[in-house]
Amino acid sequence: MANLAPTPAIVVEQDVTNGRISGRLTFLMRYWLLSLADRINATPEILASVKASTQAASISATSFSILSVSPGLYRLSMSARISRAATTSSSLIVTFGWTSGGVSCTTASPAMTGNTTATVSSLTVLARVDEATAITYATTYASAGGTTMQYDLDVSCELVA
């Protein structure tokens, strides 16, 4: 959450003209409002987020639902947790993909191989993305044993700059 400056104590000038208060904003209030707008404009904007629960298979490369990808710096984040352990073993890798300078780029989380419901992973990546190109996420899933592993996944895409 943005750290906003405290509201100035004097909001409206108390000038009296023809026996009426003018109601003009003070210099302090104008400065506070302008700096508030600057802080809001500098705040990262979450463009898309996805929550997938009780997944028991890989997710193929899926584009974030963004109407128009403008060139810039994006923060791609994920959090995953094993929600049901496999009988024998399991593995989960989360991958992000994007295009930067005309080159297809990917990065992946380390494999989650703990195979307990306390196994968690998170990853945050800053990516310089080209205009009108897809930003994707995917998972690579493996599970062995009679009971298959299930996982919960949260991914998000934010425009930073």
- Which tokens is 32 given? 């506070």
- Which tokens is 141 given? 């899933």
DSSP calls for 40-77: HHTS-EEEEEEEEEEE-S-EEEEE---S---SEEEEEE
pLDDT score at 90: 98
Whole-structure pTM value: 0.77
**Tokens 């929550």 -> residue:** 51
Tell me which residues of the chain have a pLDDT lower than 70.
Answer: 1-25
Residue (of 109, 108, 110, 116) closest to 90 by Cα position: 116
pLDDT score at 7: 57
Domains of the chain, CATH where assigned = 1-43 (no CATH), 45-159 (2.60.120)
Length of the chain: 161
